[in-house]
Structure 1
Amino acid sequence: MKISSRLIIILTVSVNAVMLVATFFILRQLEANLLAATQDEIRAHAATLQIALEEDYATGRSLDAQRLINRLSENRSIYGAILFNASGQIEVVSNSIAAREFSYLGEVKQVLETARAVEISRQLNGQDLFSVIAPIKNAGTVVGAIEIAQSISFIRTELVRERRNIALTAASLCVAILLVVSFVLHFNLTRPVQSLLTGAIAIGRGDLSHRVAVPKSSGELVRLATEFNQMAKHLAEQREALAREAEEKIALERKLRHSEQLAALGRLAAGVAHEMGAPLQVIDGRAKQLQDRADSNLEMRQRNLTIIRTQAERIGRIVRQMLNLARPYNLQVAPTKVAQLIQEITDAVEITAATNGVKINVQCDDRIMIEADGGLILQAILNVCQNAIQAMPTGGLLTIECLADPAGSDPLIKISDTGPGIPSEHLEHIFDPFYTTKEVGHGTGLGLAVASRIIAEHGGHIEVANRAEGGAVFYIYLPQLKPDN
């Protein structure tokens, strides 16, 4: 329900309640006033008739009583009059009533005995009557009594008429108040509030240019509309500022990304120059030697050609590794047993490890399964194992552990060595292309980069750290399949 409707209902109910209470008291006061006026009038008539009759009794004209009573009864407000003698018997009755209608003597005897007037309220023939019985004296002696009765039923009729008039007045007043209040509320409350509501909806939809009309009057709604417009203005300014900041941030990120790309390109170029420079120099030297010594013996020429082919193969290997790093992988995934991959890897590195005096320790649960391209995962793990063996040229222990963890919160494979470890300044760059701590000719710096790329393509990642007891450890995280029961 709208605020204006609630206010109109509250105001209408309040006005009606006040008018109802006021009407009750007004009618009560009117009834009391009418009754008092009627009683005063009948008392006056009784006093006048009493005086006239006492004068007649004093002058011996008692026969004029009938004429006086009939004359008084001509007043339409007088219901009737009765003259009683000293014994309480009826002597004269007005021509408008019958004596049998006043079948009571107790009050008359009281007046004759006490010489004091008595007032009586009763009902006769369906009418409410008010009577005054006054004593008649002659020379100080009570010689009779006169009763005058007047109907007060008209008071009820008057009250009904007044109640109807008040109800019509109240209804007209309520309608007028309702119209006036509705008109005032429409222009001073409903329309401003509707404007604020429309503005709030527009602001909620993102239209920060919307402004509400400020009422011409003064008060809280004017202040509210002003503050609303100020809020919309500030929000628009803040959005513009945020948009500018976002554009600046995007531009800065674009520049940073470009700088990073240039830096990566520089590292790539330096790595290529570093790795290919040495074999190219060897090839150039040997070729020059063959050129300068055309008459050299066959053994010398074969030795130089063998060295040239070896260096060319090395360049080819570097190129293939670069292609493996750069080309998109077309994964041929299938359920694969990790233990089987580890067995193939240990078979592949067994001779190299034995040559370097490295022992291999494998701890792998045969039930662990992954959804992967087995060949690529084998290459990634093989690169890590070869890197670990190369880190132990004087011998050591290579440990490969497979950990069952379907939730994926722990590493799937852990590969550790007992070598010298990785200097802390190299840890964050160990997976960068061409980044290597080995001497020229002993590594391209691409093996770990290729391994990281393959594992990432399978939805996993690889981490490296130094062991407290010495050596490095690689953690390979890959999504696992639930092991077979």
Structure 2
Amino acid sequence: MAHFASASLSLRQKIVAILVLYVLGIGAMALISYEDLRTMEDKLEFMRLGHVIANTILEVRRYEKNYLLYGLPEDLEEDRRYLETSFQTLAVLTAEVRDLKVSPQLDALDGLLRDYQKALDDLAAAGGGQDARDGEAALRLREIGKGLADAADGVVDFERNRIRDLLRLLGIQLLGAVAVAAALGVALPLLMFRKIFKPLGVIRAATLDIARGRFKEIPVANTSDEIEQVMAAINRMVAEIERRQDQLVQSKKLSSIGTLTAGVAHQLNNPLNNISTSSQIALEELETADPAFLKKLLGNIHQETLRARDIVQGLLEFSRVREFSLRLVSLAELARRTVRLVSSQASSGVRLALDVPEDLSVPADASRLQEALLNLLINAIQAVGGQGEVRLAARRDPDADEAVITVSDTGPGIPADIRGRIFDPFYTTKEEGKGTGLGLSIVYGIVEKHAGSVTVESEPGQGAAFHIRLPLTERTGPKMDATP
């Protein structure tokens, strides 16, 4: 069975082979039982003939006794006739027998019949008088006749015991056949489950995960058939999808950058105006101004320059393409940069709240985690419309050794019937042309790459809260570098 399981057979060949094994097993048991029944039929016929010859010998003995008592010639003739019938029945019995074990009994019976015939002939030759019927020939005839009856009964008893043994054997074979059928009925489905249905279940789960945007490689089962080829193909497809997803993430980033451009320009306009105003005042007052006043103006220019640099640096950091790399990231600093980038999207009626501990850090890819937070914040801002609150908070969960990042809003909430699909790729509730349906799917993929999880809580009319759980210690193994 193990050799069969490891043989290089196609899936169709394995199914056919399993069915053939099952049919052959049942057929072999049926053939053995049929042969035993045929043997039983032959032995029953033998038993019938045995009883016939035993009854015939009883008639021989009966006429023997009548002749010895009365000396009537007709009794002697009847004795001879039944004796001839016994010879004929024994001949039929010997011709039909196939069992060598009973042959010695038949040979002995044949010898006794011949001895009895000779003794009967000797008695008849001695005459029918009373002296002859009481003499030595009659005594010998009686002894041979008694042995003859015992031999006939012995043949019948022998076959009766053989039939009893055969019935016992048939019972054992029946139990064995039931046990083998039960074993095959259990082993073959288990084999099919292990070699066919279990890998197909893994493939089904993998395709469902892919449909939900969860791209994980699956262990390839060593089945040496189409299932192994399909599993390997799925892993190749997952690798290609992940590569394309990274391209989609970057494309989405560029789209987000386009969305943020107007707001960033507005954010840059304020420090640039301050720099321009301070520079003009410094130029006008350069000859007469107090050095302390000029120093203050230059300090303002420096601060506003740093402010503009931070805005541009945050945008560049967000748009930069890098390989996925885990480093120890300060969530407070990352949250501030992200809120600064997205603040231009919020109208004056939307309050952006930030509640992240300064000492909370996680191993993360800063750019990708910022992308996830940015998508959640933009969705939250769009959800509240022109009035409400969007909060970015984080806390430590020491029991699970995880950091919990929450983006919540006071919008209308997410209906229960679509809550289970919001992370699916290309699923969106926005009007056509206003959303791609990739934002939350990208969030899910980014969090999954960090060995974390993302869930949503929402009640109609009470807003929504997205919870990202990230491990506080790296689970993938490489050494981390510290970065703000």
**Of Structure 1 and Structure 2, which has the larger fraction of its residues in strand?**
1
**Of Structure 1 and Structure 2, which has the larger fraction of its residues in helix?**
2
Give me the TM-score of the superposition, normalised by structure 2: 0.37
Give me the TM-score of the superposition, normalised by structure 1: 0.37
Which structure's CA Rg is the greater one? 1
Structure showing greater relative contact order (alpha-carbon pairs closer than 8 Å, 6 or more residues apart): 2
